[in-house]
Amino acid sequence: MQDYIKQLNPSQAEAVLGTEGPSMVLAGAGSGKTRVLTYRIAHLIGNGVSPFNILALTFTNKAAKEMRERIEKILGPQARNTWMGTFHSVFAKILRIEHLKINFPADFTIYDTVDSKNLIKAIVKELALDDKIYKSGVVLSRISTAKNNLISAEKYSNDEHIKQEDKMTAKPRMAEIYTMYQNRMLKSSAMDFDDLLFKTNILLKDQPDVLLKYQHMFKYILVDEYQDTNFSQYVIVKRLAAAHRNLCVVGDDAQSIYSFRGADIGNILSFQKDYPEAQLYKLEQNYRSSKNIVNAANAIIANNKDQIHKTVWTDNGDGEKIKIIKTATDNEEGSFVAKSIFSEKMNSQAQNLEFAILYRTNAQSRSIEEALRKHNIPYKIYGGLSFYQRKEIKELIAYYRLVLNPHDEEALKRVINFPGRGIGKTTIDKVIIAANNNETSMWNIISSPNKYPGIGDSTQSKLAAFVDMINGFHKVIRKFTAYDLGQQIASASGISKEYFTDKTPEGVSRYENIQELLNGLKHFSALQEDEHFEEPTHTLDKFMSDIALLTDADNEKDEDKDKVALMTIHAAKGLEFNHVFIVGMEENLFPSQLSVHSRTELEEERRLFYVALTRAKKTVHLTYAQNRFRYGNVVFSEPSRFIAELNEEYIEKNTNKPVVRVQASSSHSAEFAAPRPVIKSTFVKLSSVVQAKSSSNNSADISEGVDVEHMRFGKGKVISIEGNDANRKATIDFEKHGKKQLLLKFAQLKVIN
């Protein structure tokens, strides 16, 4: 093991060797935190700690798999016995083991976001509420927030402050929906993602024997990306670590960007208060990026007040300076990015996968995509519809879910009449009403339809055939491999035939996706390691446990590799690319207009910019458009305050380019750096722009030294003029807003005599 220690720098080695007691590894971007986590676990096992006594929690299955494979290379197969995985996968496993303690079957279903939204829509409809007010996404987000703060449906219903908040947002029946939502999932033997943590907290709180069992099992606990943990995760970790206090958290407060998901930066900022004896290790050497990128990122994040101080540095070369590009429109921005990628590929033989285009919102991808297509540059949008969310895959997966758990009502409603078997909507509605009135599951109703009035004989026989099919497969779950049973279900259900006979392009694509899923089952089944078992070990229930917790990052396929990556900055966290384009660097877009009302929100936006910068190894382009087409209107934009915060030392000053960086005085930089009132975007219809051009002062009257007045920025003096004709631009020093550069054909300036 000592040979591996020699591969670490001094700070990394300290973090690996300091295994006893609480510790925090503050890991700057590109500082090798995965290596530290891996070697720390390997070091524990190599020094006699049983792998069964180590719990390592990550935020993606991909990260856990990578760490496990690295440890296996060092220590061999014994590393497989480490409890390692995402929060949700590890605690789903514990809940299945301890299912009797929480009155759930071991084969409970895990609802994804689509399942949860469908259930909420059904509840809203039953309560005759306005689905435009009680939108499923908004309601689910509210319920998720409650669960992540360990607020049960009962507690929610009895909290007057919470109910008052719901009344103020015109959703006074939120508590009722939350209660019905939980009752329906209980009836379906299902949990959503938040329940996996919420019910783990209940288990550990209400069952002292279970808490004691896992406290003594997990003698060493390691948590990756600690800055992204929410309150529910924080409480679980604190409870489990209480006995031995050998807790190691790894993270970077400068990369805390998920507050909208419930992540609490306070967890990492307050770690040393929670554990006063904790050791702090700082990984400050960046192995990823050039000096210019590292130093620019440091200068940006230094503007934040809430942080644990560290100084990231690198031995890499200076590299190219950051380029800031101004364009007139978002279409020109897209064209610039595409041409730049094409040029770089030609000049340096770069591959598509070396480039990433990052944006603040998904809507920004349109103009970028159009430009890339025009230049025949292949690209992939990350964070789009994942494989397991496609309609045909959801349908076959629903059959698998139903075979494992016949009481799963969302799965049952999806497939009871698909492919069509003569069980119509009227019958399904009768079954739902009967289940609700009798406080039982839909499965119990259709298993004995003769006990309930209103379901005819012919329909009863169709229901019986469906029930017999599902029951038949349920009895042999552990008799066949995942592939053998999965293929039989696909055939017997009629799904394979349904899409095979559909020869439209969509039908062919869906049939191919079904076959791809079956290929996945075949690969999973082929992993069976021990042929001495009489029954297969890689069965359908094991496969379903794995895919229920997959993230988009876990679904990437080889054919997606050599493509330019398009994604939001949030989706880019943890990734790295040689060349990064950060587009839409405009005020009220980045930082978001919703995030400039408080220092806390603005600081998260700045951390988001820090994350974007530190994805790059070699080059960074920042682009912004003066006019952007949004929501069917042209929006006049000004450059992001984050541009003004960049240190001039790390920015390319090539004034020969047709587009140049807006020059800002030091006072202007200070204005942009500080939190300030939001500047409302000016939405102008295209027809209004034409009218305004004819009614405003002739731009030819605007010259250097002239005093002017702008409808938004007020009075100012023209400092300089550049460009010709329609592209004439004026730099104006406004009395209250400092220097701005405006395109004269849109500026509507009035000359003051």
Q: What is the 3-state secondary structure (H, E, C) of 523-548?
A: HHHCCCCCCCCCCCCCCHHHHHHHHC
The reported pLDDT for the residue numbered 391 is: 83
Nearest to 705 by CA among 752, 664, 742, 740: 752
Token output for 192: 């959503």
Q: Is the pLDDT of residue 684 over 80?
A: no
615 is catalytic: yes
**Structure-block tokens of residue 734:** 């406004």
* pLDDT bracket for residue 293 (50, 70, 90): very high
CA–CA–CA angle 266, 271, 276 (5° rounding): 140
- The answer to whether the beta carbons of residues 709 and 750 sit under 8 Å apart is yes
Q: Which of 12, 33, 626, 740 is catalytic?
A: 33
List of residues 6+ apart from 87 with CB closer than 8 A: 57, 59, 196, 197, 233, 236
Min mean pLDDT across 443-457, 497-511, 545-559 is at 545-559
**Whether the Cβ atoms of residue 109 and residue 441 lie closer than 8 Å to each other:** no
Closest CA to 293 of 535, 618, 513, 539: 618
d(CA 150, CA 637): 42
Alpha-carbon dihedral 71, 75, 81, 84, rounded to 10 degrees:
-10
Read off the tokens for 600: 């806390």
Contacts by 420-426 with C-beta closer than 8 Å and gap 24+?
421/462, 421/465, 421/466, 421/494, 422/458, 422/459, 422/462, 423/459, 423/462, 423/463, 423/466
Does the active-site annotation cover 224?
yes
Structural contact between residues 616 and 321, judged by C-beta atoms closer than 8 angstroms: no
**Residues in CB range of 51: below 8 A, 6 or more apart:** 45, 78, 79, 80, 81, 82
**Residue 702: what pLDDT?**
82
Residue 416 pLDDT more than 60? yes
pLDDT 10s digits, 243-286: 999 999 999 999 999 988 889 999 999 999 999 999 999 999 99
Exactly one of 12, 58, 109, 255 is catalytic; which is it?
255
To the query of whether residue 255 is one of the catalytic residues in this protein, the response is: yes
Q: Which position among 224, 554, 587, 604 bears the catalytic label?
A: 224
Name residue 544's beta-bridge partners. none
Q: Which residues of 562-601 are buried (b: 16+ CB within 10 A; e: fewer)?
A: ebbbbbbbbbbbbeebbbbbbbbbbbbbbbbeebbeeeeb
By three-state DSSP, how is residue 380 classified?
A: strand
As given in the structure block, the two tokens for residue 692 are 């305004």
pLDDT digits (tens, 9 = 90+) for 101-131: 999 998 899 998 888 999 999 999 999 999 8
Q: Mind listing the pLDDT tens digit for each residue in 40-94?
A: 999 999 899 999 999 999 988 888 888 888 888 888 888 788 999 999 999 999 9
Q: Is the confidence at residue 13, as pLDDT, over 70?
A: yes
Sheet of strand 738-743, all strands in order from the earlier edge strand to the far edge: 738-743, 729-734, 714-722, 707-710, 750-751
The pLDDT of 546-567, averaged and rounded, is 68
| Structure letter (DSSP) for residue 698 | P
Reported as a single tens digit per residue, the pLDDT across 421-469 is: 888 888 888 888 888 888 888 998 888 888 877 777 788 888 999 999 9
User: Is pLDDT larger for residue 690 or for residue 200?
Assistant: 200
Task: Give percent helix, percent strand, percent coil of the chain, each to the nearest 5.
Answer: 50, 15, 30
Active site residue 34: yes
Residue type, 653: K
Rounded distance between C-alpha atoms, residue 281 and residue 24, angstroms: 6
The answer to whether 145 is a known catalytic residue is no
DSSP H/E element including 73: helix 61-75
**Which residue reads 């001039």 in tokens?**
648
Distance CA 353, CA 597 (A): 37
Q: Report CA-CA distances (Å) from 172 to 119, 163, 167, 177.
A: 19, 7, 5, 10
Instruction: Identify the band that residue 551 occupies on the pLDDT scale cut at 50, 70 and 90.
Output: low
Helix (H) or strand (E) holding 248: strand 247-251
Listed in sequence order, the residues at least 6 apart from 457 whose beta carbon sits closer than 8 Å to its beta carbon are: none
**If you average pLDDT over every residue of the chain, what do you get?**
84
Q: What is the pLDDT of residues 648-680, one digit of tens each?
A: 999 987 532 333 333 333 333 333 333 333 322
The per-residue pLDDT for 514 is: 86
Phi-psi region of 174 (alpha: psi -120 to 50; beta: other; left: phi over 0): alpha
Catalytic residue among 615, 618, 641, 740: 615
Catalytic residue among 19, 34, 487, 528: 34
Q: What is the pLDDT of residue 50?
A: 93
Percentage of the chain beyond pLDDT 70 is: 88
Cis-peptide into 406, omega within 30 deg: no
pLDDT of residue 746: 65
Helix 231-241 vs helix 87-97: crossing angle, to nearest 10: 60
Does the annotation mark 154 as catalytic?
Answer: no
Quick one: pLDDT at residue 540? 87
Above 60 in pLDDT, residue 321? yes
Other residues' Cβ atoms within 10 Å of the Cβ of residue 159: 14
Task: Specify the pairing of strand 577-582 against strand 355-359.
Answer: parallel
- Between 366 and 167, the higher pLDDT residue: 167
Q: How confident is the model at residue 753 (pLDDT cuts 50, 70, 90)?
A: low
Predicted local confidence at residue 548, as pLDDT? 73
Tokens 């990578």 belong to which residue? 66
Rounded CA separation 229/258 (Å): 9
Catalytic residue among 98, 112, 115, 225: 225
Tell me the pLDDT tens digit for each residue of 130-145.
Answer: 988 999 988 999 999 9
Tens of pLDDT along 571-608? 999 899 999 999 999 998 999 888 877 899 999 999 99
Q: Taking the CA atoms of the chain, what radius of gyration do you get in angstroms?
A: 29
